Each structure stands twice: as C-alpha cells, then as structure tokens.
Structure 1
C-alpha cells in the first residue's frame, strides 16, 4: 500500500470547534426558518378559509378601542344630537362664556330653532341687566 491510499490523520486543532455564540447563531437561524415555514402555512390556511385574497384586518371598524371623548362624539353624531349637545354645553358653561359678573344676573332659559332663526332666551334679574345684555349682543 502506498501512502496515498492510507487515510490521513486530520489535525483537529486546525478546525475550530463552534463556540457558544456560533451555536446560538445556528440555532437562531434554524428557529427563524421554522417560524417562517409555520407562518406561511398558517397564511395559506387563512386564505383557503376566506376564499383567497389577502386580508389583514388592519382597517379600522366600529369594534376598535377608542378614547372616551371620541366615542361620545361618534355617538352624538350618529344619533343627530349635535345641536342639543351644543346647547347643553352653552347652558352648562354659561359663566365661562359670558363672564362671572354677567352670569350672576343673567341665565339662559331655553333654546329654540325656528325656520329662519335660532333663539336663545335669557332671563335677567332686572331691566337694567336686560338692557346691558342687549347692548352687549
């Protein structure tokens, strides 16, 4: 037998053993590939159930969570309560709108919508305050 046909001893010090970091990279790569495969299979199942077509569900609809103020505004708009809500806001914030001094002597009583005008009826303590309010209006 010649030296060429004999198995050669491999010097194991020339090929480094994979370290912990290298092993972790290999394991992470394998896990990512498995996750991609599972995700692709799940996506195909969803499309088959839905009759094909890609749908993400990312569009907003009536079931999405929203802030309380936005929910109340939406309810007011849907029910057509814009005017009553605005009138209630004026009645409730009357002192901030007209000032504390005027609010002590004049209070809003009712709001009416007529075909050609909107009328806010205000009651005053005296005719002097009523005159003052007419001048300010």
Structure 2
C-alpha cells in the first residue's frame, strides 16, 4: 500500500490484526492460576449419578442380591463345578445352587463318595468360594447316590451302538 491510497475496511482489519499479533508477542502473559475446586466440592460432596449407577451402589451398600445376579451366580457355580473339583468329575455332579440359602446340592455316584463329601464339606465349600467368589456357598446338600449323567451326553449314549 502506498501513502496516497486510503485504506478500506478489509485493509484496516488486516492492519489491526497484525498490530494485535505483534503486541501479543511482546506483552508479558499474565500468570494463570488454576482453581482446584471439583464438582463434589461445589455441590457439597453430592455428585449427581445416573439412575442405574445410583441403584447399583444402593444394592451393593445394602448387600442385596438382585435376581439376575443370583441366577448368574447359580449358573456360575454349576458351570464351573468340573473346574472347581476336577478330582470329582464323573463321580459327583453339582445339581442345583439355591442362591437364597447359598446351598449347593451335590449328587455322588456311590455311597462311598457321599461319605467323602460329608467328611470334606468345609474344604469343598472353601474351594468353591475361592473360585466363584467369597461367601457364595455356605452349605452343601449331599443328595442320595445315583447314577450320574454327563451334562453333554444322554444316559442312552453311555453304551455305543453295536
């Protein structure tokens, strides 16, 4: 631009922007202090929660068991039985878990295994609880001996066709 021409609006804006940028580079920046006030401090310690989270927290605080959680635990105990007691696989089946009484129902194949279960109840309960969760099972119900069926095979498939 030379001195004889007058600046238009766009030119004036460009000049003002360049001047502001140059001044910003030279001027010392003010120190920024960061406040450490958190939302819980502002709200008096009461953090808003989504409804599902608040409900889950209340259930956990009061040690309530939801039906879905109880069913999941029951399925977990039954499904994990072969891994919990591999030495008893094929000799003792986990039949049912009652989540309300925390009782695991076991069916032995023979009277001898029934006796062994009765003698080692505390160790079996401890082993189950170590695997599926503390204090899941409190009692064992040892059922009368009966022929066991594998969960993957029907009783008729025990003897192959000839």
Identify whether the pair has TM-score above 0.5, normalized to the shorter chain.
no
TM-score interval for Structure 1 and Structure 2 normalised by the shorter chain: 0.3 to 0.5
TM-score scaled by length of structure 2 = 0.34
Larger Rg: 1
- The structure richer in helix per residue is 1
